[in-house]
Chain A
Amino acid sequence: MQVGILHSISGTMSISETGSVQAEKLAIEQINAQGGVLGRKIETIQEDGASDWPTFAEKARKLLVNDKVASVMGCWTSASRKAVLPVFEQHNGMLYYPTFYEGLEESPNVIYTGQEATQQIIAGLDWVAREKGAKSFYLLGSDYIWPRTSNKIARKHIEDKLGGEVVGEEYYPLGHTQFNSVINKIRLRKPDVIYAIVVGGSNVAFYKQLKAAGIDMTEEAPLLLTISVTEDEIRGIGGENIEGAYACMKYFQSLENENNQEFVAAFKEMWGDDMVIGDVTQAAYLGPWLWKAAVEKAGSFDVDKVREASPGIELASAPEGYVKIHENHHLWSKTRVGHALADGQYEVVFETDDLVEPDPFPEGYQ
């Protein structure tokens, strides 16, 4: 039985997507070591999306039509997902998509193993308002759909639910490296919180320039809250440049539970001791396990049956803790706030009591 892995292993996105590939391969190896799925060993067919959206579509078609894979673990950017979506819907494939993303989508052919925007954003904003008394926010991000949609939700929540104030909202092109003007504006307007959704290489410039401008995040004046910097990104930024910032997502490598300790140990054994594991990598690891559980519940590899069996699938062995597939194909999961340490890891300072319900089309936030 074959499963496809479709990520960029060349081009600009390969730095981000490599962790996902590694996690998926680890999960499949572990599944095979336990005897496979329905008694059958799982083989992987890996394709390179090459950070190029038409190539993603081409390879998705190849995996579904030629190789007839049972499911595909893959994609990272929203753009690549949007490119393959019509292919999966036309050829009735099943995609396990690991990245936290903007929501506004609910395809019968995708299981979203990362968080959609409201899951990631609301708990974090509530936490800074409650614990840190934050009232004014400066929103900034890279200029594409995810940061824009996320900030739209954040602004609504800040203004309508928290009674706070947004004192600035700005976007910069992907790859932008000059943040001095926004840093000056931040110093002028003195927000309680800088809410940053900068992605990719821009992060390195942004945090270094913040520090160089004398904004010491450990003093929390202003406090920095991000939803885009995982342990993977910190490797590029440098722990000392982001120490003191807060991140809000569902998983941190430092999570203390047995599942996670086993997962981190197995990951490092397979891929090397210097590896770090970020939120998306963990979400990618869930894909093959969720698929296995659904196949076993359905008693079949047939996509329609797997889809039907998926809602309600539980995974108690997830490194992030218990997760469950919602009717809308997203996961119920906890949201956590991490405090960045100088060694590049996060210390978990808060987690929601209950699982947060995924709501890809949030009422009142659009």
Chain B
Amino acid sequence: MTKTSFLKRDEAVGLVILALIIFVVFPVMLDDFRLNLFGKYLTYAFVAIGLVLCWGAGGILSLGQGVFFGLGGYCMAMFLKLEASTPEATAIQSTPGIPDFMDWNQISALPIWWQPFNSFAFTLVAIFVVPAAFAFVIGYAMFRRRVSGVYFAIITQAIAAIATILIVGQQGYTGGVNGITDLRTLMGWDIRPDGAKTTLYFVNGVLLFVCLLVAMAIRKSKFGRVLVAMRDAEDRVRFSGYDVASFKIFIFCVGAMMASVGGAMFTLQVGFMSPTIVGIVPSIEMVIFCAVGGRHSLMGAVYGALLVNWAKTTFSESFPELWLFGLGALFIAVVMAFPNGLAGLFDDYIKPRLRIGRAAPATTPQPAE
């Protein structure tokens, strides 16, 4: 595969349009409050991109991506919380210098496993390594035993439930159901004012594009082709001599790391982390973002995350008592009317009229597993 053919023309155009939307249109059109909200939506796009790789390309449906999102978010939150818990700021506590929720739970010293999170470098490494290691363990246990499809989805869902129970139950160490709140500064830089939120929005946007390009590279590589082949006919790939489990573990770890980066950016932009973002419901919502965008399309995933979250906010502001029905109707409409999501809609109706790129029937949508 040569460099010149890395991006097809229509893909390049798509990327430019997306970049324009994220870096120009939104910042110009939206006020600080809305921009921060869209920044939050875009953190879910990281998860959705990871899901396109795992689910759309690899056929691995994970209903537990919230766990990885949460791991990244909690790593970042732990660092920020320690920075906010200086002995001066917490002088009112029985034990000054530890996070406030630990003090409320009669813990009088910082637990050992919290200590490394005093270091920002360690935190950054942890944001990648912790979810990857966790995904590896799950992947190793499942894929080596050839657990797949629905069974894998159910197990990941159970893991999401377990993670929530664990976080809520260990409140002295995790902040429990309240989560880790009242985060203030990142290495001395106050993350709360509007200006900081705008900066974070752009950082988030850049990271998202890095993530998108990495995902595209993976999809176009030989590895990506094996992945698709595995999804469509796993046995044949196995009989051809490929180690199917290793491929699956790898892509699952990549998806986990992407979700984790999204989680870390979520914590920075929203200002806290809590178990409500880890559990079953948010994990399923993340799959919905991916489904609405079109689970075979990486850019579709970004649009899906934006559209669903924007709809959620708008419906709930306009019809606080009825909005859930509106959202439900949207999901039903997507599944019934255009199962390949926004990307499918674009490919079927808009693209033929635009005549951009060569007509490429090679991207025929695949039936759902």
Contacts and interface: CB of A to CB of B under 8 A. Distances in A.
Interface of A: 9-10, 46-48, 50-55, 57-59, 61-62, 65-66, 77-79, 82-83, 85-87, 90, 102, 104, 143-145, 148-149, 152, 173-174, 361, 366
29 contacts: A9-B321, A10-B323, A46-B320, A48-B321, A52-B276, A53-B272, A54-B274, A57-B271, A57-B272, A58-B40, A61-B33, A65-B33, A79-B178, A82-B178, A82-B272, A85-B182, A86-B181, A86-B183, A86-B272, A143-B169, A144-B168, A144-B176, A144-B178, A145-B104, A173-B165, A173-B168, A173-B169, A174-B177, A366-B94
Given A54-B274, A58-B270, A149-B104, 15 more contacts: A9-B320, A10-B324, A48-B316, A48-B320, A53-B276, A61-B33, A61-B36, A82-B181, A83-B272, A85-B181, A86-B183, A90-B192, A143-B168, A144-B171, A145-B105
Contacts, number: 100
A366 B96 CA distance: 13
A51 B323 CA distance: 14
B138 interface: no
A57 B106 contact: no
Contacts of A53: 178-179, 272, 274, 276
Contact of B179 (A9, A66, A79): A79
A326 to B, nearest CB: 18
Interface string B160-190: 0000010011010000111101110000000
Contacts of B94: 366
Nearest to A5: B320
A47 B314 CA distance: 11
B177 A54 contact: no
A82 B274 CA distance: 11
Interface of B: 31-33, 36-37, 40, 92, 94, 101, 104-106, 165, 168-169, 171, 176-179, 181-183, 192-193, 270-272, 274, 276-277, 313, 316-317, 320-321, 323-324
A47 B316 contact: yes
A54 B277 contact: yes
Contacts of A9: 320-321
Nearest to B192: A90
Nearest to A87: B271
Contacts of B182: 82, 85-86
B320 A47 contact: yes
A300 to B, nearest CB: 25
B316 A86 contact: no
A152 to B, nearest CB: 7
Given A57-B270, A57-B271, A85-B181, A174 B276 contact: no
A64 to B, nearest CB: 9
A10 B281 CA distance: 14
A79 B105 CA distance: 15
A82 B317 CA distance: 22
Contacts of A366: 94
Nearest to B106: A152
Contacts of A86: 181-183, 192, 271-272
B192 A66 contact: no
Nearest to A149: B104
B104 A79 contact: no
A184 B179 CA distance: 33
Contacts of B37: 58
Contacts of A65: 32-33
Contacts of A10: 323-324
Contacts of B36: 61
A46 B62 CA distance: 36
A47 B254 CA distance: 37
A82 B176 CA distance: 12
A46 B320 CA distance: 7
A361 B92 contact: yes
A50 B272 CA distance: 17
Contacts of B171: 143-145, 148
Contacts of A104: 104
B178 A145 contact: yes
B267 to A, nearest CB: 10
Top 6 closest pairs, chain A to chain B, by CB:
A48-B320, A79-B178, A82-B181, A65-B33, A53-B274, A82-B178
Contacts of B277: 54
A215 B152 CA distance: 45
Contacts of B321: 9, 48
B328 to A, nearest CB: 11
Contacts of A149: 104
A59 B320 CA distance: 11
A83 B168 contact: no
B272 A48 contact: no
Contacts of A148: 104-105, 171
Contacts of B316: 47-48, 50, 55, 59
A98 B271 CA distance: 24
Nearest to B172: A148
A84 B324 CA distance: 22
A121 to B, nearest CB: 16
Given A145-B101, A173-B168, A83 B181 contact: yes
B33 to A, nearest CB: 5
A104 B104 CA distance: 8
A230 to B, nearest CB: 20
A87 B33 CA distance: 12
A20 to B, nearest CB: 14
A62 B168 contact: no
Contacts of B31: 66
A55 B281 CA distance: 14
Contacts of A58: 37, 40, 270, 313
A32 to B, nearest CB: 20
B132 to A, nearest CB: 25
Contacts of B101: 145
Contacts of A174: 168, 177
